[in-house]
């Protein structure tokens, strides 16, 4: 049987997998039931399964042809998001990682049922903790992905960006990160500001300095202050300390490096203008996508073969981040892409109770399975 027929005939079982995973949402780094369920289903169809990868809930299923050939990975993230509902913290699959897991598992099941792979090795990767950007790094550190040459990921897109029936071959996420500035001035009496250095004024000066930072306008980017902490309840005290936080995005890693250097300089200059000083700290979010032309072409061909020419949407850039892109940074020469799935998803990602057309999961599984077949036969 061919992969497309298998997935059509097993439509009900694919949708049941989605329903099962949807009903067991788990927080980042706590995907215990989800990973056990996925590991069991991979074992059932003949994969050699490693659980607890790198001391996390990560799962890798291996299908080895025994023949020389490339090492190809398909990856899904397993974690849900946390929300406060009626005073209680509950997990919910509002980013659609239940769909990502269903697509990857279903593609893996289809490949195993349709004769396996003819050359090289397939790794089916279920990664924990995407939302807190620790999962990909933990799997990289485990060493289990050494030798990986091709890797594809998948994610649902909001309806506004991609309608049902369309799939795009590359989702180009931006780099993201946070700059913190710890500002130290000199405390004084509110009546004698000339004897101190006002940390509140220094923080305000830093905000204005950051707003005057400019990098290459042809590359989408932004740096904006999203947190200021300063002062206490006594308004007649010149505050000594302030802290500011800046959310930063850039479409390439090079522009992010440029932006980081300039924002740090702006914070220090703003503080210095008021007689204060600043120490900066950087917290990386995610690196920018570095998709491979070869993988994008493989995805394009798979989309057309699975769903027809009209389903193929153009590659898209997005200011959102994805820890998937740590893999290309951590494994030299790794060729990657993340396909974007149109599913009429509303009202949006990260909105609790968001819904989408579940048929899109079957289409995505077809594309993933055909991508593997084109590399491993």
Chain residues in the site for Zn ion (CB under 5 A): 95
Per DSSP, 5 falls in state H
Q: How far is the CB of 81 from Zn ion (least distance, A)?
A: 7
CA torsion angle for 75, 107, 160, 224 (degrees, to 10)? Answer: 0
Q: Quick one: 80 or 205, whose CB is closer to Zn ion?
A: 80
177 versus 185: smaller Cβ distance to Zn ion: 177
The smaller minimum CB distance to Zn ion, of residues 56 and 198, is found at 56
In 3D space, the residue among 36, 296, 297 whose CA is nearest the CA of residue 170 turns out to be 296
| Distance from C-alpha of 335 to C-alpha of 294, rounded to nearest angstrom | 8
Q: Which is nearer to Zn ion, 77 or 240 (CB)?
A: 77
Instruction: Report the run of H or E that residue 118 belongs to, with start and end.
Output: none
Beta bridge partners of 81: 92
Q: How far is the CB of 45 from Zn ion (least distance, A)?
A: 26
Specify the residue, 31 or 240, whose C-beta has the smaller distance to Zn ion: 31
Q: What is the rounded distance in angstroms from the CA atom of residue 203 to the CA atom of residue 239?
A: 11
Estimate to the nearest angstrom the gap between the alpha carbon of 103 and the chain centroid: 16
> How far apart are CB 77 and Zn ion at their closest, in Å?
6
Q: State in angstroms the smallest separation of the CB of 302 from Zn ion.
A: 21
Q: Among 13, 107, 26, 77, which residue's Cα sits nearest to residue 358?
A: 13
Tell me how far, at minimum, the Cβ of 79 lies from Zn ion, in Å. 8
Residue among 75, 80, 105 nearest 14 (CA): 105
What's the DSSP call for residue 98? H
C-beta closer to Zn ion: residue 65 or 317: 317
* Cα separations in angstroms, 154 against 9, 144, 162, 285, 363: 22, 21, 14, 19, 12
Contact at 8 Å (CB) between 173 and 328? no
Q: Which of 98, 264 has the CB closer to Zn ion?
A: 98
Least Cβ distance, residue 144 to Zn ion (angstroms):
22
Shortest distance in whole angstroms from residue 266 CB to Zn ion:
30
Nearer to Zn ion, 49 or 95 (CB): 95
What is the distance between the alpha carbons of residues 54 and 40, in angstroms, rounded to a whole number? Answer: 19
**DSSP letter assigned to residue 20:** H
> And the tokens for 359?
């048929």
Shortest gap between Cβ of 94 and Zn ion (angstroms)? 8
């Amino acid at each position: 049987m061919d992969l497309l027929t298998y997935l059509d005939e097993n439509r009900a079982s694919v949708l049941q997998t989605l329903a099962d995973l949807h009903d067991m949402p788990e927080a980042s780094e706590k995907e215990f039931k989800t990973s056990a369920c996925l590991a069991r289903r991979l074992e059932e169809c003949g994969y050699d399964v490693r659980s607890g990868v790198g001391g996390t809930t990560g799962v890798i299923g291996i299908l080895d042809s025994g023949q020389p050939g490339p090492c190809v990975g398909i990856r899904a993230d397993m974690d849900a998001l946390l929300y406060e509902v009626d005073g209680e913290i509950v997990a919910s699959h509002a980013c659609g990682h239940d769909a990502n897991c269903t697509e990857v598992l279903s593609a893996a099941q289809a490949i195993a049922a349709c004769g396996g792979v003819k050359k090289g090795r397939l790794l089916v990767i279920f990664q924990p903790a995407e939302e807190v950007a620790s999962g990909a790094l933990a799997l990289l550190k485990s060493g289990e992905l050494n030798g990986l040459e091709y890797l594809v990921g998948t994610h649902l897109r909001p309806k506004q960006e991609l309608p049902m029936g369309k799939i795009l071959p590359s989702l180009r996420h931006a780099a993201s990160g946070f700059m913190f500035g710890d500002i130290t001035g000199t405390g004084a009496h509110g009546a004698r500001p000339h004897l101190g250095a006002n940390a509140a004024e220094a923080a305000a000066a830093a905000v204005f300095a950051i707003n005057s930072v400019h990098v290459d306008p042809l590359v989408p980017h932004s740096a904006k202050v999203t947190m200021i902490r300063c002062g206490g309840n006594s308004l007649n005290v010149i505050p000594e300390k302030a802290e500011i936080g800046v959310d930063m995005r850039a479409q390439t890693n090079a522009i992010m490096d440029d932006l980081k250097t300039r924002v740090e300089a702006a914070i220090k200059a703003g503080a210095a203008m008021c007689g204060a000083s600043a120490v900066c700290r950087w917290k990386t979010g995610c690196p920018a996508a570095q998709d491979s032309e070869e993988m994008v072409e493989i995805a394009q061909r798979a989309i057309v073969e699975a769903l027809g020419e009209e389903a193929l949407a153009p590659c898209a850039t997005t200011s959102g981040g994805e820890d998937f892109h740590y893999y290309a940074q951590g494994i030299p020469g790794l060729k990657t892409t993340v396909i974007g799935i149109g599913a009429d998803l509303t009202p949006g990602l990260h909105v609790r109770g968001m819904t989408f057309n579940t048929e899109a999961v079957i289409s995505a599984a077809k594309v993933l399975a055909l991508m593997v077949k084109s590399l491993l036969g």
